[in-house]
Amino acid sequence: MAYVVRSNRQVGEEFRHVARQELRRAAASLRGPAAERGVHEARKRVKKVRAVLKLLDEVRNGRWTKDRRRLRKAGRTLSGLRDADAIIEAFDKVRTQYPDRLSEHSYAAIRRQLTNKRTQAISQASHENHLKRTARQLERIRRSAKGWRVPSIRKPSLPDLVRQSFRASRKAMEIAAAGEEPGDVHDWRKRVKTLWYHLRLLQALAPDLDARIGRLKSLETLLGEDHNLEVLCTTIAGDRALQGRGSDLQRFTSAARRYQAALRRQAFALGRRLHAETSKDFSRWVRQRLMAGRTGRTPSPESEAARATA
């Protein structure tokens, strides 16, 4: 079962069905010998479920407040472990971009310390059974979701629902652009991801959404790398074991910030293109895609022009 609403099903029921499928797969990825490698997959699926709940809330606040709190707690547990992996990935990208900034010995020493921190985080999680407990928590949410009293949602109302996500993403972008504070940029990334997930849910109903979904994925990737670099620099700055490598750390951090600035310029340029239209025009554009998907018609030149601004 893909992360999409099937065209021949009631939308609200499909939202619940998709959420339960994602929860089942998230829990499964945290079990067995490959559980440590499944953290990233589980975390993504938790975010998908939270995106589904956000859409349901646009229609009617339901009795899933407790499950939302459980999801948030599970997400926090998984985030710490995922960040440990993401930091090393970010380090390797900086090293690739600026291979001559430090000696191989210095690069290896810093990476070794980051790897040690990751090993310690995984060891602690294993010792305290964090992954097993999180898997059980996700299964409890899945059982609870079976009883969600989802609202009846008509397909023609879907454009107005995702319109809220577009508006939130554009507003978050404006705030992030004003000061480029790390927290604001990260908040924008979360709004972009939610919008991306919401359009993916509609993909089976309107295949012509594919192009914009791809662009949103590219934007989310840029913002995700930006965030990873921010966490990397913060982690290195606060690591006492690395403080003796003062000049090396300064040169590495300078390179990381330079790389981050380049990524951020790309993200804002792409973000402005994707958010150039009004939320009303975006809703109209989604509605045209849904109508074309239902009738099998080719979108009109006017609707194609609207997509070209994305």
pLDDT tens for residues 217-227? 999 999 999 99
Taking CA 170 as the corner, what is the angle to CA 71 and CA 60, rounded to the nearest 5 degrees? 45
Torsion, Cα of 237, 190, 81, 253 (10° steps): -20
Query: Per-residue confidence at 128, pLDDT binned at 50, 70, 90?
Result: confident
Question: What local confidence, expressed as pLDDT, does residue 114 receive?
Answer: 93
Question: What local confidence, expressed as pLDDT, does residue 292 receive?
Answer: 86
Distance CA 27, CA 29 (A): 5
Does the pLDDT value for residue 35 go beyond 70? yes
Question: What local confidence, expressed as pLDDT, does residue 309 receive?
Answer: 36
Distance CA 308, CA 310 (A): 5
Identity of the amino acid at 243 = Q
The residue assigned the tokens 């899945």 is 142
Query: Per-residue confidence at 202, pLDDT binned at 50, 70, 90?
Result: very high
The residue with greater pLDDT, 208 or 136, is 136
- pLDDT tens track for 255-291: 999 999 999 999 999 999 999 999 999 999 999 999 8
Question: What local confidence, expressed as pLDDT, does residue 303 receive?
Answer: 42
Q: Which long-range contacts (CB under 8 A, 24 or more apart) does 291-295 make?
A: 292/206, 292/208, 293/7, 293/205, 293/206, 293/207, 293/208, 294/7, 294/155, 294/205
Question: What local confidence, expressed as pLDDT, does residue 274 receive?
Answer: 97
Taking CA 309 as the corner, what is the angle to CA 305 and CA 310, rounded to the nearest 5 degrees? 120
- In 3D, which of 63, 73, 21, 16 has the Cα closest to residue 45? 21
Question: What local confidence, expressed as pLDDT, does residue 307 receive?
Answer: 38
Average pLDDT (151-178) is 94
Does the pLDDT value for residue 81 go beyond 90? no
- pLDDT tens track for 53-74: 999 988 876 678 889 999 999 9
Does the pLDDT value for residue 4 go beyond 80? yes
